[in-house]
Structure 1
Amino acid sequence: MKIKEESIVKPRPTLDLLNEEENIWNVELPNDYKKFLINYNGGIPEQNSFNVQSRTYAIDRFLCVLEESDENVESIYDIDVTLTRIEERLTTNEDLVGVELLPIAILFNGDYVCLDYKNVNKEPRVCLWNHEESGELDPITYHVANNFNEWINSLK
C-alpha cells in the first residue's frame, strides 16, 4: 500500500489513543487497521479504486483519528467528526452504545467504506455505506471484503 506521504494527517495516533477510541466506539479494531492508522493516518492512497457490485469506486482519502480535532485543519476527515455528522444513518438502533458501522474512508461520490460490526464474532467485515439510499436508522450497505487486509490488497 502506497500512501502519498504529504497527505498523512499529523499528529499520528498513538496506540493509547486508539484504545481510548475503541472504548468510546465500543468496538475492537483489527490490529492491521490500528497499524495502518498509526502509519498512514488519513492519507490518500496512490491505488485508490475497488469494485463492488459491478461498479468501480474511488477513495478520496482514508479517515483519521485525532486527539484534538478542533485544532487541526484536517479535522473534517476525523472519524469522530464524521460519526457526529452521519451516525443516525449508520445504525438501525437509536439506543446503541458505540457503533455498528465505523467509517474508515470517504469516497469521491460521498459514500463511505466502513468496518461492519453488526454481525461479527471477532473481526469486522468491510462494507460500502451508500449515502443516497440510506435513511435515518436505515443504513444501506454492500459487502466489500471479509476483512481490512483483504480490502486493502484489492485496491487498484
Structure 2
Amino acid sequence: MGLKKWLFSDESLDEQEIIEVERLFGFKLPDDYKQCITKNNGGFPEPNTFDCDDGRIEAVFNDLISFTDKDLNIKMFSEFSTQKLFPFARDPFGNLLCFDYNDNADSPKVVFYNCEETGSTLITPVCQSFTDLLDRLYS
C-alpha cells in the first residue's frame, strides 16, 4: 500500500509560487503537501485508489491540481477559501480533494468535495492528513 510514483508532473515549483497561493487563499499549506507539490506539480499518483474514513471505498485520486497549468490551475479555486477549503486534487469526474481548515487552521483534514451534491453529502471526510492519504493509496 502507499504511493509508488508520480506520473506526468508539470515543471517543478519554486517556494515563491507556493507563498503566492498561500496568500491568495489565506492558509498555510501543510508541509508534507508543499514538499510533494514542489516536485510533482500537476502529477498523477500511482497507485491512485483510496478509501475514506466514512467507509466509502475505492475513491480515485486522479491528479494534483497544478499551480502553473494555463487552462486549469489552483488559483481558479480561490472562492473555496470562504468555506475554509483548499482544493488540491481532482478525481476523474471533476470532484475535488480538499484540505479542510474549519476545525484546525494548523493541521487541516483531507475531505472529498462532491461537485454534484448539495448539503450534507457535499463533503465527505477522507483522512487526517496529506501523508495519511498517500499512505492509503492502492491499485
* Matching residue of 1:80: 75
Specify every segment of 5 or more residues in structure 1 that has no aligned partner in the other structure, as ranges. none
Partner of residue 14, structure 1: 14
Aligned residues: 133
Extract unaligned runs of 5+ from structure 2: none
Which amino acid letter does the alignment assign opposite residue 103 of structure 2?
N
2:58 pairs with 56, 59, 79, which one?
56
- Give the 4+ runs in structure 1 shifted more than 6 A: none
SS for the counterpart of 2:44 is coil
- Identity over aligned pairs, percent: 25
2:90 alignment partner in structure 1: 106
Greater C-alpha Rg: 1
The TM-score normalised by the length of structure 2 is 0.85
Match of 2:62, SS?
Answer: strand
Bigger relative contact order, structure 1 or 2, given CA contacts below 8 A and separation 6+? 2
- Normalising by structure 1, report the TM-score: 0.76
Please give the per-residue CA displacement for 1:105-136, whole angstroms capped at 9, x wherever unaligned: 1101321110111111411110000111137x
1:32-75 Cα offsets, whole Å, 9 max, x none, are 11110111001011110011233311122111112xx5xx4xx3
Once the two structures are superposed, the pairs formed by residues 13-52 of structure 1 within 5 Å of their partners are: 13-52=13-52
Q: Take 2:56 and 2:118, find their aligned partners in 1: how far apart are those partners?
A: 20
